Structure 1
Amino acid sequence: MIWSELIKVVPDGTPVGNTAVEVTGIAYDSRHVEANNVFCAIPGFRTDGHLFCQEAANRGATAFVVERAEAIPAGKSGVVVPNARRAMALIADKFYGSPSARLAMIGVTGTNGKTTTTHIVRALLEANDIPTGLTGTLYTLMGQDTYKVSRTTPESPDLQSLLRHMVDRGMRAAVMEVSSHALVLSRVDQVQYDVGVFTNLTQDHLDFHKDFESYFQAKALLFRHLGASSKTGPKAAIINIDDDYGKRLIPMSPVPVLTYGLTEGADIMGSMVTVGSRGVQFVASFPNGERQAVEFNMTGRFNVLNALAAMAVGYVYGLSPRQMAEALARYPGVPGRFERIDEGQPFTVIVDYAHTPDGMENVLKTAREFTVGSIGVLFGAGGDRDRGKRALMGEAAGRYADWVVLTADNPRSEDPMDIINQIADGLKPTQTPFEVELDRERAIRLALQKGQPGDVIFILGKGHETYQIYRDGTIHFDDREIARQALREIKKP
């Protein structure tokens, strides 16, 4: 594509140099630049992309998006803009042919439940002959193919490339997790969402957003821009009315709102909920008066809410309650989300991604509904992330668990013991007994050796992750692999 065509979509840009150069791709990391690429100089949190413009030029970049004109290498083309991230989103959308305009776009945001909800949405739509791409925390899915991801919501060039690939693969819809970071950092600026889903808002990411109101306003950005495109087809804001922040979102939506929840008055309401160790049963009521009994293989009231959110999406797209119930009954679950590890032991072991106070409370409270023995929990907290939630996580564990093992969880540049001490500040007042084992593998073995018949043991925080991040590097680490190996060893005479 010719550079002059791309910069037409940047209304506040000032062109520099020859605008007739050919552009073959978009890069924002100088190490990934290829010949004739545009290099977008993004001011980052640890470094500034403007410092790498010459390196990008040496690798073959011919055009540059910058906020400072002097960063453009001699003899190269460019555009000077007030916001490089915003300009990158505009250019990426144009370069890839505005793929979101050709898909039914569903965005799911909230603190907890995004991954599970997106997976259930995809399962419902695909079961009813609507090919649906998915991208989020775990991976990108298209048809039977799985692709790795580096973050929950990709940077705009990567996201637009994914959506283009979905269009080319024959997808008719796309469902994606939309993180608060992505909304604030313009990663999804040019994505034409038709349906937005709000799950809940609880404490997380305050290292980035600084306060709860800023965190909420970031999530609200998705809903303020719903329906801005000229696409035909359903448009809706699907909002959890059980959440106080969900109630605040309702008047912000420019498109019709469909609420869901477990309280009377929700448009799509769950009732008669029965929670078991292997799943839930409930009745879903719909605006047209229909009522549908549902059996779902993921347990917990929080997963009833996730299922209701997905059913609201299906309802918007014309699926019948019966069709959705049939798909839910067949759905096996999401990797690392309340995932049972069963090697024939007489107690239950569950791996889950819960890494916020509310997420931990959800899974532990659920276990109280079906556990006949004790509840044990192993967890830590991520380094270089929201420190304010650590004591709250400790307090949540202390309220619902009978014993706790504290360990490392992606400590990054921080001292793992400092993190554990902050968790313990919330745990100690509950007087729940706890042990500390910094080595996560040894900690898992320690926790599992405590298991007695009828107990439930949770390994929380990492879920699907297959790595552990330390100050000096990243190693392979999968809670599920370690747990299975330890359980097999425990069973040996």
Structure 2
Amino acid sequence: MTPLEGGAHRSSSRGNRAPALDVQVKLAEIAVAIPGARIAAHSEIEVRRVIFDSRRAGPGDLFVAIHGANADGADFALAAINRGAVAIVSERELNIGVDVGQLVVPSARRALGEAASALLGYPSERLRLVGVTGTDGKTTTTHLIAAVLAADGRQVGRLSTVDIAIGDVVRPNPYGRTTPEASDLQEALRELVAAGVEDAVLEVSSHALALDRVSGCTFDAAVFTNLAPEHLDFHGTMEAYAEAKARLFGMLDSPTVKYWSRMGIVNADDPYSFTMIGASPVGIVSYGLDTPSDVMAVNLNLLPDRTQFKLVTPLGEWEIVSRLRGRHNVYNWLAAAALALGWNIDLERVAEAAEHTSAPPGRLQDIVCGQPFRVVVDFAHTPQALAATLGTLQGLGSGRLYLVFGMAGQRDARNRPEMGRLAADGTHFFIISTDDPIDEDPAEIADQIAIGAQVVGAQEDIDYAVELDRRLAIQTLLKRARPGDTVLLAGKGHEDRMLIGDRSVPWSDVQVASEILAELGFGP
């Protein structure tokens, strides 16, 4: 079945009217939304909010006791009750000496989203919800899909690593992660519904899928960008990583009926697209540059300030001119065009969106202070992303290419030598510095990166340097740059904090680079 088959559908049986934000729902009603739930006590008690952090508990709350990697939420149930919680969800009946409502569930983590969704009136069922997953390109693809939907006249909301947008009102992502915890996500979706949003585009990480942060969501489209080695410290193998991503496609098999057909969208050039297709119970729209696909791009013209290509679809061809640079961003536009094709959106809307849409903050972001060389901030923090960014910048001019980057702690250390190799092969000189070391030694991380550079013949102080003071590293290369050169600051992108030990300290590559350029005499 293709996404366009099946005709119109009836609306959700829950109705179209969402409840007011200040609601109270009986525990028995919430239990209905959680498969396998058993009411152990006080089914008629009313709750007003679903929480998972006992420190946030207040009067009338439902506390979900999640068994985490480092602590068991059941140990904090009494603390939540002492702060006003009136009911508990847990995977076993708790004897805590206090008479409160209790739900026993197969998975507390999954129940968190299901309970919050029920309490808030099933917000995702009142939206046309798009989930975007993959290793790289999720944030940009999320923004581009939202732009296409807005160009089609829809009221659009967006939740990405970078920000939350309700129409033209944008605020930074406050959650500190790509996809919020399940109860926070449901509250965010409910906010979109209350604001009159029709379509929502959600960036979905593999952690969010593996840890059920999107439980309680009804997706109408799942988009797969690509898959490359990342988070293998968490998933273990590429196969397990792919299977986590594929859960998003499996969630398209929802009993909730809406007015439109559901669909999966995959990058046919990525071999892991077959894993997504295998998990999808609905039709697939494919896109690609090299593999025959439903949506393709030809005649690519990658310019310093824009990208041009011809969009080829079963419905015709369109000339696309985008402000976004690089071959990797062509893939992101193809994903957005594939969604437009599947939902019968006039593909002229894609061309309109491309003409007016800029890249998200921290994605190939130019820092312009009147200097005669290019300074670019990019979020590239994986080998695949760094390779794409370096490839794009290598084609922008004939000058030298410099790079400052590091790698975060508590991430898959197997990527560190590969990042060093890419830096050595793709730049004229680079500096290994600090990037969110958390509880690891930044010097040890730098040594692991340097190994990859040394394997391909790079020599310290000739081809690269190690400077753990990131500000000094940036300053060194900005002083070194000459007219026509490019300095890339990679890894931090839009972020405004540096995680060092148990501290979160202010840090912005954009701000620091701008300050140093001003110190060097550039700027207004």
> Are residues 313 and 72 of structure 1, via their aligned partners in 2, closer, same or farther at CA, if it must alter by over 3 Å?
farther
AA aligned to 1:34 is G
AA aligned to 1:408 is T
> Are residues 491 and 142 of structure 1, via their aligned partners in 2, closer, same or farther at CA, if it must alter by over 3 Å?
same
Match of 1:87 in 2: 111
Q: 1:286 aligns with which of 308, 313, 320?
A: 313
Worse-superposed segment, 87-96 or 459-468: 87-96
Q: Distance in 2 between matches of 1:11 and 1:324?
A: 40
Q: Distance in 1 between matches of 2:447 and 2:79?
A: 43
* SS of residue paired to 1:69: coil
* SS of residue paired to 1:162: helix
How do 1:182-193 residues align onto structure 2 when only pairs under 5 Å count?
182-193=208-219
Instruction: Give the TM-score normalised by the residue count of structure 1.
Output: 0.97
Q: 1:55 aligns with which of 79, 82, 89?
A: 79
1:136–1:152: 8 Å Cα contact kept in structure 2?
yes
* SS of residue paired to 1:285: strand
1:51–1:71: 8 Å Cα contact kept in structure 2?
no
1:66–1:72: 8 Å Cα contact kept in structure 2?
no
Match of 1:272 in 2: 299
Q: 1:166 aligns with which of 176, 180, 192?
A: 192
2:162–2:360: 8 Å Cα contact kept in structure 1?
no
Runs of at least 5 residues in structure 1 that lack an aligned partner in the other structure = none
Match of 1:15 in 2: 39
Match of 2:247 in 1: 221
How do 1:110-121 residues align onto structure 2 when only pairs under 5 Å count?
110-121=134-145
1:68–1:80: 8 Å Cα contact kept in structure 2?
yes
Q: How many pairs does the alignment contain?
A: 492
Q: Distance in 2 between matches of 1:19 and 1:157?
A: 21
AA aligned to 2:352 is E
Q: Deviations over 1:319-352 (max 9, x none)?
A: 2222211221111221000001111111111100
Q: Distance in 2 between matches of 1:284 and 1:199?
A: 17
Q: Distance in 1 between matches of 2:262 and 2:78?
A: 45
Please state how far the C-alpha of 1:278 moved relative to its aligned partner. Answer: 1.5
> Are residues 214 and 73 of structure 1, via their aligned partners in 2, closer, same or farther at CA, if it must alter by over 3 Å?
farther
Match of 2:444 in 1: 418
How do 1:44-443 residues align onto structure 2 when only pairs under 5 Å count?
44-70=68-94, 72-147=96-171, 148-150=173-175, 151-228=177-254, 229-288=256-315, 290-432=316-458, 433-443=463-473
* SS of residue paired to 1:463: coil
Percent identity, aligned pairs only, is 38
Q: Deviations over 1:70-119 (max 9, x none)?
A: 36452122112231111222211211111111111111000000000010
Q: 1:470 aligns with which of 500, 505, 515?
A: 500
Q: Distance in 2 between matches of 1:178 and 1:227?
A: 17
1:53–1:71: 8 Å Cα contact kept in structure 2?
no
> Are residues 248 and 58 of structure 1, via their aligned partners in 2, closer, same or farther at CA, if it must alter by over 3 Å?
closer
Match of 1:454 in 2: 484
> Are residues 316 and 11 of structure 1, via their aligned partners in 2, closer, same or farther at CA, if it must alter by over 3 Å?
closer
AA aligned to 2:167 is G
Q: Distance in 1 between matches of 2:239 and 2:96?
A: 38
Please state how far the C-alpha of 1:314 moved relative to its aligned partner. Answer: 2.0
Worse-superposed segment, 278-287 or 71-80: 71-80
1:57–1:73: 8 Å Cα contact kept in structure 2?
no
Q: Distance in 1 between matches of 2:95 and 2:79?
A: 11
Match of 1:24 in 2: 48
Instruction: Give the TM-score normalised by the residue count of structure 2.
Output: 0.91
Please state how far the C-alpha of 1:266 moved relative to its aligned partner. Answer: 1.3
Please state how far the C-alpha of 1:53 moved relative to its aligned partner. Answer: 1.0
Match of 2:17 in 1: none
Worse-superposed segment, 108-117 or 250-259: 250-259
* SS of residue paired to 1:405: strand
> Are residues 262 and 416 of structure 1, via their aligned partners in 2, closer, same or farther at CA, if it must alter by over 3 Å?
same
Q: Distance in 2 between matches of 1:380 and 1:303?
A: 23
Please state how far the C-alpha of 1:126 moved relative to its aligned partner. Answer: 0.9
* SS of residue paired to 1:457: strand
Q: Deviations over 1:395-438 (max 9, x none)?
A: 11112111111110011011110111111111112233111111
Larger RCO (CA under 8 A, 6+ residues apart): 2
Worse-superposed segment, 373-382 or 10-19: 10-19
Q: Distance in 1 between matches of 2:31 and 2:277?
A: 36
Please state how far the C-alpha of 1:300 moved relative to its aligned partner. Answer: 0.5
Please state how far the C-alpha of 1:149 moved relative to its aligned partner. Answer: 2.7
Worse-superposed segment, 114-123 or 220-229: 220-229
1:137–1:149: 8 Å Cα contact kept in structure 2?
no
Runs of at least 5 residues in structure 2 that lack an aligned partner in the other structure = 1-24
Please state how far the C-alpha of 1:264 moved relative to its aligned partner. Answer: 4.7
Q: Distance in 2 between matches of 1:58 and 1:67?
A: 21
> Are residues 190 and 448 of structure 1, via their aligned partners in 2, closer, same or farther at CA, if it must alter by over 3 Å?
same
Runs of 4+ in 1 over 6 A off after TM superposition: none
Q: Distance in 2 between matches of 1:458 and 1:272?
A: 27
* SS of residue paired to 2:77: helix
Q: Deviations over 1:349-387 (max 9, x none)?
A: 110001000000000011222220111111000111111
1:206–1:215: 8 Å Cα contact kept in structure 2?
yes
AA aligned to 1:307 is W
> Are residues 213 and 73 of structure 1, via their aligned partners in 2, closer, same or farther at CA, if it must alter by over 3 Å?
farther
Worse-superposed segment, 317-326 or 374-383: 317-326
Q: Distance in 2 between matches of 1:451 and 1:350?
A: 13
AA aligned to 1:460 is A
Q: Does 1:485 align with 2:515?
A: yes
* SS of residue paired to 1:441: helix
* SS of residue paired to 2:80: helix
> Are residues 73 and 366 of structure 1, via their aligned partners in 2, closer, same or farther at CA, if it must alter by over 3 Å?
farther
Q: Distance in 2 between matches of 1:68 and 1:427?
A: 52
RMSD: 1.5
